[in-house]
Amino acid sequence: MTPQIRPATPSDFGAIYALIKILGHDLAFDGMRQIYLENLNHPDLHYRVAVNDAARVVGFISLSLQKHLHHAAIIGEIQELIIEPACRGQNIGQALLRHVEQIARQAGAVTVELSTNMRRLDAHRFYEREGFTRSHYRFVKELALETERQDT
């Protein structure tokens, strides 16, 4: 299947929400929807969907473009890339990556980077096949949990 890739629209939210839930995130529908709709109009955020021949959303990718001081350049960060499990292995992820890499190039970005869960070994292999290299550690501190501890 050769997917059609297009900008995400407000009506795509339900399908995108379902895809993001596949990653194991338990997010409030309304809260995520509000952020999604706000982000659709942000000039440095690019949401793209892959749709199949039946015009059903089967993949989603988001790209954030930022000017980083430590690079003295524009950097593209892929924040989400999710393909419906039944559609994996059909080059949809590769097509979405190529699409946002082109957006990043046109914006003058010098690098595209991403983070992936340490447990997602298949995703690691996929990104390495697509030319990404492991270069950093990412440290995370959950602020909501810290705030809850301080309140008790």
> What is the domain count for the chain?
1
Could you tell me the pLDDT band of residue 7, with boundaries at 50, 70 and 90? very high
Give the mean pLDDT of 72-82: 94
Q: Is the model more confident about 72 or about 152?
A: 72
CATH of the domain at 51: 3.40.630.30
- Per-position DSSP letters for 87-121, written without gaps between them: GTTSSHHHHHHHHHHHHHHHTTEEEEEE---TT-H
Query: 101: domain range?
Result: 4-151
Q: What is the pLDDT of residue 2?
A: 78
Q: What is the pLDDT of residue 39?
A: 96
pLDDT at position 115 over 80: yes
- Tokens coding 110: 């010098």
Q: What is the pLDDT of residue 31?
A: 92
